[in-house]
Chain A
Amino acid sequence: MSDLLAIETRELSKRFGEVRANDAINLQVKAGTVHGIVGENGAGKSTLLKMLFGFYQPDNGDILIDGDFVHLANPSGAMDHGVGMVHQHFMLVEPFTVLENIMLGAEGGRNLEEGKARARAALTDLEEKFGFDLPLDEPVENLPVGVRQRAEILKALYKGAKTLILDEPTAVLTPQECDQLFELVKLLRAQGNTVLFVTHKLHEIMAITDDVTVIRAGKLIATRKTSETSAADLAELMVGAKVSRQVSREDKTNRQSRLELKNVSAFNGQGHAALKGVSLQVKDGEVLGIAGVAGNGQTELLEVITGLRRISDGSIEFSGLTIADKSTVTDPITLRQKGMAHVAEDRLKTGVVESMSAKENIMLGYQTEDEFVSIGVLKLKNIEARAGACFETQDVRPRNIDLPIGSFSGGNQQKIVIARELAQSPQLMVIGQPTRGVDIGAVTKIHDQITELRNDGKALLVVSADLDELLAISDRIAVMCEGEITGVMRVEDADEKTLGLMMAGQKIDTSKGLAGNAPSEPSTAPTGGSL
C-alpha cells in the first residue's frame, strides 16, 4: 500500500436547483486500497460517483486521477483514465449475451464477428487472472443477479479500469453472493486495483474496507481508517446524532390466527407460476417477516393477500373467513372494511398517486365512506381534519396537507401512507418494504411503530429485502425462493447464514417454526440490529 492517491477531489461541488447535492467535497482515495463511502439515501453519494465517472459535470472544484488534474466530459473520458463504475442498476442490455455486453462501446472495428473473436481471447486471460467463469454466450436476462454483477465488473476490467467504483453492490445479492463479491474485491486489491465501495450497510464497510468516508447532506463529514473506527461511530457520523432504540416487546398468550394461506398457488403477469403451494399463518400479536431475494414471489404473495391477484389453487382465510380461493377473490375495498390494511411495496406505483395532494392520498381507499363523501361530493372539511390528525400523530414534515405527496421525502411519504392505513385501526397489516427509500431517522420510527402495533395485539406480515430489518422486527421469518417457502424460523433461531442458504433455495427443516407456535418464553428481540 503506497500513499499515492488513485482519486482525489478538491472542493468538488454540484447543485441541482436549490439543492446542494455535493458541497466542497475533498475526497482522497489511496491507490491499491478498498475505500468505503457511507451515507444515508439522498446524502449525495450517487452525485459524487456520477461526477467521478464523468456522467455529471461538477459546478465547481477539481478531480485528480493518479495525481493529474482531469476533465471528465463523459463516461468514456473516465474510462480512458482507468475509472470504471458498476452501477446499482446494472448497465446491461438484457437480450444481449455477456460477451456482447462487455464489448459494447469497445467493439474493436466495424465487423462484429472479428471483434467478438478478439474480445473472447482477451477475456479468457482476464477471467483467469481474476477467477471468473462467466457464460459468455448466455443472454444476460437468463442469468442470476450475482452473475450479472460479475459481468459488469468484468466489463469494467476489460475496458481497462484500474479503479472500480461499486455503487451499493450488495443491495440485490444473497448473503452467499455477497461473500463471493467480497472475495473478488479482496482479489482486485491484491492485484493492485483500487476499489471505491459505496454502501449504507455499515457491517460491510467494517468487513471489507481499509478507509471509510462519511457523507451527510452533501458534505464530507469525516474520513477514518476502518481499523480505528466502529460501526456505532459511523452510524453517529451518518445521522449526526446518537441513534438509540428502545421498544420492548411483550408477549401475549391466547393468540388467534388472523391470516392463513393454505397451499396457495398463483401466476404472475407473464403467466408463469409465481407462487407454488405457499402455506403460511399469521397470528394476532406477531410479526411474520418474509425474506428472499427480490423477485421470488414476494410481490405476488402481497398481491394475493390484498386482493390484487387471483389465486389458481388453495385458499386464503382472514379472520376466519375465506377471502380467496380458486374461483373467488375479494376486492381490496371489502378487505379494508374487514380490517386489513396494506402498505404497498412499491410506494409510488401502488401506494400513492404522486401528483395528488397529501390529503387526497390520505382518503384514498375511504372514498366510499359516508364520513368523506355524500352523493358523490367530497366532504372537504372532514378530509382535512383526518389529514391534519394523521400529520400530527406521525409528525410529517412539512406540515402542509395540500402539497403533492410526491414532493415529500421518501420517509415522510411512508409516514403518510402508514397513517392512512392505521386510521381504520386494522386487525392485520400487510407491509411491503416498510423502509425502502426512507432515511434512517424515519426507519427507526417505522420499526418502533411496527413493534407497538404488534404489542397491541395486531397481526403483521412484513415483506422486506433487508434481512437486518426483518431480524430486528419479526417474531418469525419465512424465506421465499422461486415461489416456494423454503423454511420458517423463529427469529431467535435465525442467523444470516441459514437464512441465506434458504434464500438460495435450500430447504431447511424448521418444523418448530412451521407450526406457527407462539414463542413460549418472553423474547428480547435484537432491536437496533439494522444499524
Chain B
Amino acid sequence: MEFFADLVLLIDSTLRIATPLVLTAFAGLIAERAGVVDIGLEGKMLASAFAAAATAAVTGSPWYALMAGVGAAVALGLLHGYVSINQRGNQIVSGMAINIAVAGAAPTLANFIFHKGGQTPLLDEESRFSIITLPGAEALADVPLIGGLYSEIISGHNLITYLTVLVVPATAWLLYKTRFGLRLRAVGENPEAVDTAGISVALIRYQALIIFGVLCGFAGTVLSTGLGAGFIRDMSAGKGYLALAAMIFGKWKPVPTLLACLLFGFVDALQGRLQGVSFPLIGEIPVQFTIMLPYVLTVIILAGFVGKIQAPRASGIPYEKDH
C-alpha cells in the first residue's frame, strides 16, 4: 500500500515536471518540422520565465504574467526567424547566442528592477497559476485506489498543465489534418517544392515560429508562476535541451515526443524521490548523482537506443533560390 502511494506521488510529480518539457518539445517540433532548428529553446523558456515572474510581481496577475511570458518568447522567436530566414544566418549560432544572452540578461534585469540578487520576489498565491482542486477530489481522497488516483494525479495541477494536455492532440491535428500542417511539413522537407507550388517559404516559417514562441512562452510561464513562485537564475536548468532530446527521441512526431517527455519527467521525479533515501548495501546515494539521472539517460538514449532517425530533410538549412 505504501508502494502504491509512492507510485501515485511519483506520477503526480512526473506530470508537473513534464509540463514545461512537453510545451517546449512541441515548440521545437513545430519549428523543426518547418525547417528551422532552434537550439535556443532554453533561452526562450528562461526569458519568458523571467518576464512572467517580473510581471506577476509588479501587477499581481498571472494573466498579465502569461501575456508577458508569451510576448517575450514570441519576440525572441521572431528574432531567431529574422536571423535564420531573412539573413540566412547560422541557426545554431543564433540559438546559442539567444541562450547566452538571456542567461546573462535575465538575472541582470531582475537585479536592476528588484534588487534581490538576480531573483524576482516570491510570488503570492493570487499572482500565480495555483493548484486547481477538481470537484470531489477531497471527498474522494480517502477512497482506496480511485481516490488517490483522482485526487493526486487527475486533480491538483495548475491551469497550464491542464492546457498542455490539449496541446498534444491540437498539434497532431494541426500537422496532419490541416492545409497549414501540410505546407509546414513540406517546408521542412523540401522548401523548393513549396516555393514552386507558389507558397511563400518565409511566411510559413514565420507562422511556425510564432506558434513556437507561444508554446515556449507557456513553458516559461509555468516554470516561474505555476511550478515555482518566482524567477531564479538558471531556473530552466537545461530543460530546453532535454526537450530537444525528447523531440529527437520522439522522431519529430507528436505522440512519441510526448512519451519521451513523460519518460524524462518520470526519471526526474524519480531522482527527486531517491534523494535522501537509504538503500540496503549501498546506503544513501549522494544527491549529485541522483540529479544526474535525467541527463545521463538522455545521453544513453540518444547514443544507443534511438537508432536510425530521419530529421526533417531541410531542417537547419536556410532557403535560398539557387542561381
In the complex, B288 has a CB within 8 A of chain A: no
In the complex, A104 has a CB within 8 A of chain B: yes
- Are A91 and B193 neighbours in the complex by a CB distance under 8 Å? yes
Q: Which of A26-81 contact B (CB under 8 A)?
A: 53, 55-56, 74-77, 79
- Are A115 and B196 neighbours in the complex by a CB distance under 8 Å? no
Which stretch, A106-114, A190-198, A452-460, A463-471, touches the partner chain B? A106-114
- Are A105 and B199 neighbours in the complex by a CB distance under 8 Å? yes
Distance to closest chain B CB from A217 (angstroms) = 17
In Å, the complex CA distance between A55 and B192 comes to 11
Q: Which of B159-198 contact A (CB under 8 A)?
A: 176-183, 185-186, 189-190, 192-198
For residue A91, which residue of chain B has the nearest CB? B193
Could you name 7 residue pairs across A and B whose Cβ atoms are closer than 8 Å? A55-B196, A74-B198, A85-B196, A95-B189, A104-B182, A107-B182, A110-B178
- Are A103 and B182 neighbours in the complex by a CB distance under 8 Å? yes
Distance to closest chain B CB from A54 (angstroms) = 9
Taking a contact as CB atoms closer than 8 A, the residue among B182, B186, B198 that contacts A76 in the complex is B198
Instruction: Tell me how many residues of A have a C-beta within 8 Å of chain B.
Output: 32
Knowing A75-B196, A75-B198, A91-B193, say if A112 contacts B178 (CB, 8 Å): yes
For the complex of A and B, 4 pairs with smallest distance between CB atoms: A76-B198, A105-B197, A91-B193, A107-B179
In Å, the complex CA distance between A239 and B192 comes to 32
- Are B199 and A110 neighbours in the complex by a CB distance under 8 Å? no
Chain A residues lying within 8 Å of B199, measured Cβ to Cβ, are: 76, 104-105
Distance to closest chain B CB from A417 (angstroms) = 24
Distance to closest chain B CB from A115 (angstroms) = 7
- Are A55 and B194 neighbours in the complex by a CB distance under 8 Å? no
In the complex, A254 has a CB within 8 A of chain B: no
Q: 17 other contacts beyond A55-B196, A104-B182, with CB at 8 A cut-off?
A: A76-B198, A77-B198, A91-B193, A91-B196, A91-B197, A93-B185, A93-B186, A94-B190, A96-B186, A96-B189, A105-B183, A105-B194, A105-B199, A107-B179, A111-B178, A112-B179, A113-B177
- Are A112 and B198 neighbours in the complex by a CB distance under 8 Å? no
- Are B177 and A92 neighbours in the complex by a CB distance under 8 Å? no
Distance to closest chain A CB from B50 (angstroms) = 36
Q: Could you tell me which B residues sit within 8 Å of A by CB distance?
A: 176-183, 185-186, 189-190, 192-199, 308, 313, 321, 323
In the complex, A270 has a CB within 8 A of chain B: yes
In the complex, A23 has a CB within 8 A of chain B: no
In Å, the complex CA distance between A94 and B312 comes to 10
Knowing A93-B186, A104-B186, say if A75 contacts B197 (CB, 8 Å): yes
Chain B residues lying within 8 Å of A93, measured Cβ to Cβ, are: 185-186, 189-190, 193
Taking a contact as CB atoms closer than 8 A, the residue among B176, B190, B195 that contacts A92 in the complex is B190
Distance to closest chain B CB from A376 (angstroms) = 33
In Å, the complex CA distance between A107 and B184 comes to 13
Distance to closest chain A CB from B284 (angstroms) = 45
In Å, the complex CA distance between A96 and B183 comes to 11
In Å, the complex CA distance between A113 and B182 comes to 11
Q: Could you tell me which A residues sit within 8 Å of B by CB distance?
A: 16, 53, 55-56, 74-77, 79, 85, 87, 91-96, 100-101, 103-107, 109-113, 115, 270-271
For residue A105, which residue of chain B has the nearest CB? B197
Chain B residues lying within 8 Å of A270, measured Cβ to Cβ, are: 308
Chain B residues lying within 8 Å of A101, measured Cβ to Cβ, are: 193
In Å, the complex CA distance between A270 and B309 comes to 11
For residue A77, which residue of chain B has the nearest CB? B198
For residue A109, which residue of chain B has the nearest CB? B179
In Å, the complex CA distance between A106 and B198 comes to 9
In Å, the complex CA distance between A110 and B313 comes to 25
For residue A271, which residue of chain B has the nearest CB? B308
- Are A105 and B198 neighbours in the complex by a CB distance under 8 Å? yes
- Are B179 and A91 neighbours in the complex by a CB distance under 8 Å? no
For residue B190, which residue of chain A has the nearest CB? A93
In Å, the complex CA distance between A111 and B181 comes to 10
In Å, the complex CA distance between A94 and B191 comes to 12
Knowing A75-B198, A79-B198, say if A55 contacts B179 (CB, 8 Å): no
For residue B200, which residue of chain A has the nearest CB? A74
Distance to closest chain B CB from A94 (angstroms) = 6
- Are A112 and B193 neighbours in the complex by a CB distance under 8 Å? no
Chain B residues lying within 8 Å of A16, measured Cβ to Cβ, are: 323
Chain A residues lying within 8 Å of B192, measured Cβ to Cβ, are: 91
In Å, the complex CA distance between A286 and B192 comes to 44
Q: Which of A56, A77, A107, A115 has the most CB of B within 10 A?
A: A107
Distance to closest chain B CB from A72 (angstroms) = 11
Chain A residues lying within 8 Å of B321, measured Cβ to Cβ, are: 55-56
For residue A101, which residue of chain B has the nearest CB? B193
In Å, the complex CA distance between A468 and B246 comes to 51
Distance to closest chain A CB from B29 (angstroms) = 15
Distance to closest chain A CB from B242 (angstroms) = 27
In Å, the complex CA distance between A56 and B190 comes to 19
Chain A residues lying within 8 Å of B323, measured Cβ to Cβ, are: 16
In Å, the complex CA distance between A53 and B321 comes to 14
Distance to closest chain B CB from A471 (angstroms) = 32
Chain B residues lying within 8 Å of A109, measured Cβ to Cβ, are: 179
- Are B181 and A112 neighbours in the complex by a CB distance under 8 Å? yes
In Å, the complex CA distance between A113 and B179 comes to 9
In Å, the complex CA distance between A93 and B190 comes to 6
In Å, the complex CA distance between A195 and B313 comes to 32
Chain A residues lying within 8 Å of B186, measured Cβ to Cβ, are: 93, 96, 104
Chain B residues lying within 8 Å of A53, measured Cβ to Cβ, are: 196
For residue A107, which residue of chain B has the nearest CB? B179
Chain A residues lying within 8 Å of B194, measured Cβ to Cβ, are: 104-105
In Å, the complex CA distance between A95 and B315 comes to 14
In Å, the complex CA distance between A314 and B53 comes to 67
In Å, the complex CA distance between A92 and B176 comes to 18
Chain B residues lying within 8 Å of A77, measured Cβ to Cβ, are: 198
- Are B177 and A111 neighbours in the complex by a CB distance under 8 Å? yes
Distance to closest chain B CB from A96 (angstroms) = 7
In Å, the complex CA distance between A372 and B22 comes to 58
Chain B residues lying within 8 Å of A55, measured Cβ to Cβ, are: 195-196, 321
In Å, the complex CA distance between A109 and B179 comes to 7
For residue B187, which residue of chain A has the nearest CB? A93
Chain B residues lying within 8 Å of A95, measured Cβ to Cβ, are: 185, 189
Knowing A75-B197, A104-B182, say if A112 contacts B176 (CB, 8 Å): yes
Distance to closest chain A CB from B96 (angstroms) = 25
Chain A residues lying within 8 Å of B178, measured Cβ to Cβ, are: 110-112
In Å, the complex CA distance between A74 and B193 comes to 13
Distance to closest chain B CB from A20 (angstroms) = 14
Chain A residues lying within 8 Å of B313, measured Cβ to Cβ, are: 94
In Å, the complex CA distance between A56 and B321 comes to 9
- Are A87 and B182 neighbours in the complex by a CB distance under 8 Å? no
